[in-house]
Amino acid sequence: MDSSNEGRILSKAIGILEKLPVCDQCLGRQFAWLSTETSNRERGRSIKLLISMIADENMKSGKREEGIRLLKLLASIGSFHPAIEIASRYSIEIDPKKKCALCTHQGRSIFDIIPSIAQRFMTDVQEIEFSSFLVGCKPISEMMEREDEIRAEMGLLHGETLKADFNRELGKHLSRLLPQDTNFGQPDVVLVYDMLEDKLDIRLNPIFIEGKYRKLKRGIPQSRWECSKCRGKGCASCRQTGRMYPDSISEYIGEPILLAVQGTKYKFHGAGREDIDVLMLGTGRPFVVEVSEPKIRSLDLGKIEKKINRLSRKKVEVMDLRLSSRSVAQKYKEDASNNVKEYEAIIRTSEPVTQRALQETAEKLSGATIMQQTPERVSHRRSDLVREKQIHKVELTPRRDRRIKAFFRVQGGTYIKELISGDDGRTTPSLSEQLGTSCQCDELDVVRICNSHTP
């Protein structure tokens, strides 16, 4: 063969067949990056057809020996039907057909079992709703090694991996059977075929639902709170319930969603959290519920909203439910101390204070930066640090019986109860410090959370 490109492709193809029995698909794959609008099978078949034409020409022009050699290669090693026909025309005896060395596992080509894998997938996902899927596989390592060896030996530079070839062929086959599209970004379903084990692994990606909640009753923690004595196992002090509080925001919201999407478990991501005795009012606190392995994705979110509100008996109220994504859940976490929160409080002072003192304190704290060391009461879940927090606005109005009604607009992550009490000097300046008398927070409500999602 000459050294021109056309000669090189042919001599490489013949070289491969001299070394290994190779099917059309696997021969074509070695040249996958050459030419488009075709399949590897078609590529391989075209190359073999051309070789069989050369063989036939050799036979006709008296180069019998070379012709027979090529026909034998194609017919036995390449299982190529046109070559078998030509060979029988010239009464050339052919060795029995050999199986492809690059794609045969347990006597079958893994490409030939694609239709049956696709059928198995169809059966397995019968009860599952999804709008997009992605195909993957775990190839057999010996197969990959054999292919790497032949490529190195023959200097093949335009081949595609067996894995990519198989994934695409299976994906193409499924696309013909399914109305859904393949999706490389965030598919609802991922199918992974393990070639060695002949196992089909179907992974359902989580569904994310976001919304806002209002907490209308005090005494409910955001997440399920395990009994600190038995750590959830159940003991006398928790009356065998395993928990400190009978309910939680995350359960009121998460359980009905879990049921609706028929998932296996859920995670509740709140944009921050309020204390157990603090109400969450106003436009509510954003959250995302992440449910693993959902079987249902087409949801009547209005109906779920109503169900949550009904089952929580007006302790919790959700609104603006809609489909969401992992990135929103992550953003809520990162945003928690960058957003702005508004609170209303009822404060009790030890000594009576004048209206003038209140006004001066409110003016002094509005726009101030405070230093806040992690309060003792949350030290079990937050590291002991001094944090700088912005206080944007404070309003103080006198009420009867040494009570003050207060409004605060502060940076997210500010501990309001400590801004009021001073927390034994750990928060400074504070209301107690400014008014010169000890102040306690009697009641606290979050009335507004402003972040990038709620302008």
Comparing CB distances to Zn ion, the nearer of 235 and 368 is 235
Q: Is 238 in the site for Zn ion (CB under 5 A)?
A: yes
d(CA 73, CA 69) in angstroms, rounded, equals: 6
Q: How far apart are the first and last CA of the chain?
A: 72
Q: Is 235 in the site for Zn ion (CB under 5 A)?
A: yes
> By rule CB under 5 A, what count of residues binds Zn ion?
10
- For residue 128, the minimal CB distance to Zn ion (Å) is 32
CA atoms within 13 A on the CB side of 400: 0
Q: Is 217 in the site for Zn ion (CB under 5 A)?
A: no
Alpha-carbon 307 to chain mean position: 27
- For residue 301, the minimal CB distance to Zn ion (Å) is 36
Comparing CB distances to Zn ion, the nearer of 170 and 365 is 170
Q: Is 431 in the site for Zn ion (CB under 5 A)?
A: no
- For residue 146, the minimal CB distance to Zn ion (Å) is 11
Has 275 been annotated as catalytic?
yes
Token pair of 109, please? 């080509």
Q: Is 114 in the site for Zn ion (CB under 5 A)?
A: no
Q: Is 244 in the site for Zn ion (CB under 5 A)?
A: no
Helices (H), 155-190: 162-177
Neighbours of 78 (CB within 10 A): 30
Convert residues 10-49 into a mask of x (bound to Zn ion by CB under 5 A) and - (unbound): -------------x--x-----------------------
Comparing CB distances to Zn ion, the nearer of 216 and 230 is 230
d(CA 1, CA 53) in angstroms, rounded, equals: 15
Q: Binder to Zn ion among 8, 97, 203, 229 (CB under 5 A)?
A: 229
Footprint on residues 67-106 left by Zn ion (CB under 5 A): 100, 102-103
Angle ∠(303,130,306) on CA atoms, nearest 5: 10
Place of tokens 């639902």: 209
DSSP symbol at 418 = H
Helix (H, G, I), strand (E, B) or coil at 156: coil
Catalytic-labelled residue, pool 275, 277, 320, 335: 275
Residues 431 and 368 sit within 8 Å (Cβ to Cβ)? no
Comparing CB distances to Zn ion, the nearer of 380 and 400 is 380
Q: Is 230 in the site for Zn ion (CB under 5 A)?
A: yes
Comparing CB distances to Zn ion, the nearer of 110 and 304 is 110
Angle ∠(341,246,343) on CA atoms, nearest 5: 15
Token pair of 258, please? 């879990």
Q: Which residues bind Zn ion (CB under 5 A)?
A: 23, 26, 100, 102-103, 227, 229-230, 235, 238
Which of the residues are catalytic?
275
